[in-house]
Structure 1
Amino acid sequence: MTDLPALLNRDQVRERLLEIFPVGTAYRIDTTNLTAASTVFVALYIGAIEGGDQLLGPKHVYRMTEEQAALTDPDARTAYIAAIRSPKGEIKGSRWYADNTREGIRDDTLREGLVAIGAVVARGDIPTTSSKPRYALTASFAALFDPALAGDALSQAIADWQAASLSKGALARLAINLQGAGKSGDKVIVTFPNGETRLLKPGPSSELTKAVVEVFAPRFLAEPAVLSISESATKVIARDDALAKSIGLNIQVDKNLPDAILADLGPAHPLLIFVEVVASDGPVSERRKADLLKLVDDAGFPKEHVAFITAYLDRSAAPFKKNVNTLAWGSYAWFASEPDGLLELTTTRRTIG
Structure 2
Amino acid sequence: MATIEEAQEILEALGMPSAQTNRMSGLTLLALCGLKPNDPWSVANRTGCTVTKSIMSHVKEHYGIEYAPNTRETFRRQVLHQFIQGGIADYNPFEPDLPTNSPRAHYAITKAALTVVQAYGGEGWPGVRTTFLREQGSLAERHARDRDRAMIPVTVGDGNELRLSPGRHNELQKAIVEQFAPRFAPGAQLLYLGDTAKKDLFVNGVALQRLGIPINDHDKLPDVVIYDAERNWLFLVEAVTSHGPVSPKRVVELEEMLAACPAGIVYVSAFPDFKEFQKHLKGISWETEVWLSDAPDHMIHYDGDRFLGPRK
Normalised TM-score (structure 1): 0.43
Q: Which has the larger radius of gyration?
A: 2
Does 1 or 2 have the higher relative contact order (CA < 8 Å, sep 6+)? 1
